[in-house]
Amino acid sequence: MGFKDASVSIVKCSQYHSVDDAKIAVRKAVDFLGGMESIITPGDHVLLKPNFVCPVDYKTGATTNPHVIFAIAELCREVGAKRITIAEGPGIGQDMDDVYDQLGIRDMAAKYNCHVVNILKDEFTYVVNPLGKHIKRIRLPKTFIESNVVINIPVMKTHDALAVTLGLKNMKGIIHNSDKKRFHKWGLAQTVVDLGHLAMPELTIMDGTVALEGMGPVVGSPVNLGLVLASTDTVAMDRVCLEIMGFGLEEVDYIRMAGEQGLGCTDLSRIRVLGEALESVKRPFQRLSFDSKLLEERGITVVECDACSGCNNAINSYIYSLHVKGELDKLSGCTLVYGQTPSISEEASDKVIRLGVCTRNMQGAKGVYVPGCPPHPMHIDDYLAGEGLKKE
Ligand code: SF4
């Protein structure tokens, strides 16, 4: 069986706290697709791209399980990979060297003869992207450009701005930090798809040993799912993960758009699931939710006007995070407006917060404007603090 099929393998992995244990499941998942020798040629330089968004242990579900990563490295070595590099750029504001140190990655890399690259310190080269709608050229790191094979190793997680973060979204970790900020400005869903035209991995191995639900991608609750999945079609992988997590394709714009724009298969009837039956591993993930009475009591009005799922996810996540931190009162009396056709009634309070680029030039615009497409939930407070709600 070749790697061109839209096939996704699902393997149970109930023991995942050692490299040897994880290797049994990873090997089985990759063997369903034809084995690691199907994609690696002896002498290859292999890049392993995990998700190390912050220095938080894999048992929280926020970061890739290192045992899965080094199990993959071992399989690559068995089939003749010459150089294996783990490369990641962390979330904005994180120190990648610190993340590697705190997660013990350098010590494990020394033991398993792997190189470790901090992408923030890598050399970047501009690459043109003729198929991109928003990104026509972008800087990519030398480590990525010079590798022969890329193996993407995301964690199955919910996400505050995009509903979920899976295989396709994980590749955003290789771009320059300043471009990460621009992605929100240019439209996160489409830019993630555009990047997929340039940075599609040869193989995606989903770490579903410990997943994350609720307030992803960092502060949610761990889900001891005990699964490893593999596919050469990252979009098909993401589609299968949506089914496992209980999300509809229509809820996640960027995965739907990736299918529509030819990056991979989102048609479940055309995806061959190998190994465990999909029905048998479904486990609906918790979403963000809170009682709307909490808003009513504080006079907070949320006006959603034909918004994309990106804005819906981001704004809900922002409100939820304030609720969890006990800071909802700071929005007392405010009207939050967002969406593609934004408008508010004349009587709306003066404390208006316009969220997302669609509200920039809305008719009768007043209040504080927060840019982004969608606005990043973590940055909304910065804009509110910087511009001062009370001045409006
Ligand atoms: S509603 Fe507007 S700002 Fe929000 S995600 Fe859609 S296009 Fe972007």
How do residues 268-324 score in pLDDT, each as one tens digit? 999 999 999 999 999 999 987 778 899 999 999 999 998 887 788 789 889 988 998
Q: What pLDDT does residue 3 have?
A: 39
The Cα-based distances of 361 to 134, 203, 211, 217 in angstroms read: 21, 43, 40, 31
Q: What pLDDT does residue 331 have?
A: 95
Taking a C-beta distance cutoff of 8 angstroms, is the pair 375, 307 a contact? no
Reading the block at residue 171, the tokens are: 């590749």
Mutate to test the pocket of ligand 1, among 191, 340, 354 (most ligand atoms within 8 A of CB): 340
Q: Delimit the domains of the chain by residue range.
A: 7-281, 293-391
Q: Ligand 1 centre from 187 Cα, in Å?
A: 7
Where the chain has pLDDT below 70, the residues are: 1-5, 92, 387-392
The Cα-based distances of 191 to 68, 73, 196, 229, 354 in angstroms read: 28, 30, 8, 25, 22
370 lines ligand 1 (CB under 6 A): no
224 lines ligand 1 (CB under 6 A): no
Just give the CATH number of 293-391.
3.40.50.12280
Reading the block at residue 382, the tokens are: 């910065």
Q: Ligand 1 centre from 374 Cα, in Å?
A: 5
Q: What pLDDT does residue 183 have?
A: 87
Select from 351, 370, 348 the least CA-distant residue to 359: 370
Tell how strand 203-213 and strand 221-231 pair up.
antiparallel
In the chain, what is the greatest distance between 2 CA atoms, to the nearest angstrom? 69
310 lines ligand 1 (CB under 6 A): yes
Give the C-alpha separation, 42 to 77, whole Å: 9
Superfamily of domain 7-281: LarA, N-terminal domain (3.40.50.11440)
The Cα-based distances of 177 to 173, 196, 257, 376 in angstroms read: 9, 17, 24, 15
Nearest atom, ligand 1, residue 375 CA? 3
375 lines ligand 1 (CB under 6 A): no
Residue 349 CB neighbour total at 10 angstroms: 14
149 - beta bridge partners?
46
**CATH topology match: 7-281 vs 293-391:** yes
356 lines ligand 1 (CB under 6 A): yes
Helix axes 234-245, 253-260, angle to 10 degrees: 140
How do residues 111-146 score in pLDDT, each as one tens digit? 999 999 999 999 999 999 999 999 999 999 999 999
Q: Ligand 1 centre from 311 Cα, in Å?
A: 6
Taking a C-beta distance cutoff of 8 angstroms, is the pair 160, 314 a contact? yes
361 lines ligand 1 (CB under 6 A): no
Q: How far is CA 225 from the centre of its chain?
A: 18
3-state secondary structure of 26: helix
3-state secondary structure of 272: strand
Mutate to test the pocket of ligand 1, among 254, 306, 309, 357 (most ligand atoms within 8 A of CB): 357
The Cα-based distances of 263 to 159, 227, 258 in angstroms read: 21, 25, 5
Q: What pLDDT does residue 215 have?
A: 82
Taking a C-beta distance cutoff of 8 angstroms, is the pair 160, 216 a contact? yes
Tell how strand 155-159 and strand 163-165 pair up.
antiparallel
Give the C-alpha separation, 241 to 156, whole Å: 7
Q: What pLDDT does residue 387 have?
A: 53
Q: Ligand 1 centre from 215 Cα, in Å?
A: 21
Q: Ligand 1 centre from 366 Cα, in Å?
A: 18
